[in-house]
Homo-oligomer: A and B are copies of this chain.
Amino acid sequence: VKLQQLRYLVAVVDNGLNVTAAAESLHTTQPAISKQIRLLEEELGLSVFHRRGRSLAALTAEGELIVERARRVLCEVANMRSLADDLVGEQQGLLSIATTHTQARYVLPETIRRFRARYPRVALELHQGTAEQIAELVAADAVDFAIVTGSRQLFSGLTILPCYQWDRMILVPPDHPLARNAAPSLATLARYPLLTYVFSRVGESSFKRAFAEQGLEPNIVFTARDADIIKAYVRVGLGVGVIASMACDEDDLVAIDAAGLFPRCTTWLGFPRGRLLRRYMFDFAHLFAPHLTPALMAEVASAPDQAAVNALVGDIELPLKGRAGHEPRRIPA
**A residues near B, CB below 8 A?**
1-3, 44-46, 62, 65-66, 69-70, 72-73, 76-77, 79-81, 83-85, 87-88, 302-305, 308
Contacts of A62 in B (CB 8 A): 84, 87-88
In angstroms, how far is the closest chain B Cβ from the Cβ of A314?
15
| A72 with B65: CB separation less than 8 A | no
User: What are 13 sample pairs from A and B whose C-beta atoms fall under 8 A apart?
Assistant: A1-B77, A44-B80, A44-B81, A45-B84, A46-B88, A66-B83, A66-B84, A66-B87, A69-B83, A70-B80, A73-B73, A76-B76, A304-B308
With A45-B88, A84-B46, A87-B62 as known contacts, state yes or no: A2 contacts B2, CB within 8 Å: yes
Residues of B within 8 A of A80 (CB): 1, 44, 66, 69-70, 72-73
Each complex incorporates copies of this chain amounting to 2
Contact A73 B77, beta carbon cutoff 8 Å: yes
| Nearest chain B residue, comparing its CB with the CB of A67 | B80
Q: How far, in angstroms, from A26 to B79 measured CA to CA in the complex?
A: 26
Q: Which chain B positions have C-beta within 8 A of A3?
A: 1-3
Determine how close the nearest CB of chain B comes to the CB of A72; give it in whole angstroms.
5
Across the two chains, which residue of chain B brings its CB closest to A1?
B77
Apart from A46-B84, A62-B88, A72-B76: 18 A-B pairs, beta carbons within 8 A: A1-B3, A1-B80, A1-B81, A44-B81, A44-B84, A44-B88, A45-B88, A62-B84, A62-B87, A65-B83, A66-B87, A69-B76, A70-B80, A73-B73, A73-B76, A73-B77, A76-B76, A304-B308
Q: In the complex, what distance in Å separates the CA atom of A69 from the CA atom of B79?
A: 8
**Once the chains are docked, how many angstroms separate the CA of A65 from the CA of B66?**
27
CA distance A74 to B118 in the complex (A): 36
Contacts of A308 in B (CB 8 A): 304, 308
Task: Name the B residues within 8 Å of A65 (CB-CB).
Answer: 83, 87
Q: Which residue of B lies closest to A46 (CB)?
A: B88
Residues of B within 8 A of A83 (CB): 65-66, 69
Name the B residues within 8 Å of A46 (CB-CB).
Answer: 84, 87-88
Least CB distance from A102 to B in Å reads 34
Bound complex: CA A88 to CA B41 (Å): 11
A284 to chain B, nearest CB (A): 21
In the bound complex, what is the Cα–Cα distance between A329 and B208 (angstroms)? Answer: 69
What residues of B have a CB within 8 angstroms of the CB of A79 in the complex? 69, 72
Q: Give the complex CA separation of A80 and B79 in angstroms.
A: 18
How many Å lie between the Cα of A118 and that of B8 in the bound state? 38
Shortest CB–CB separation between residue A263 and chain B, in angstroms?
A: 32
Contacts of A76 in B (CB 8 A): 69, 72-73, 76
Enumerate chain B residues within 8 angstroms of A84, measured Cβ to Cβ.
44-46, 62, 66
- Within the assembled complex, what's the spacing in Å between the Cα atoms of A73 and B1? 12
| C-alpha gap A44/B88 in the complex (Å) | 8
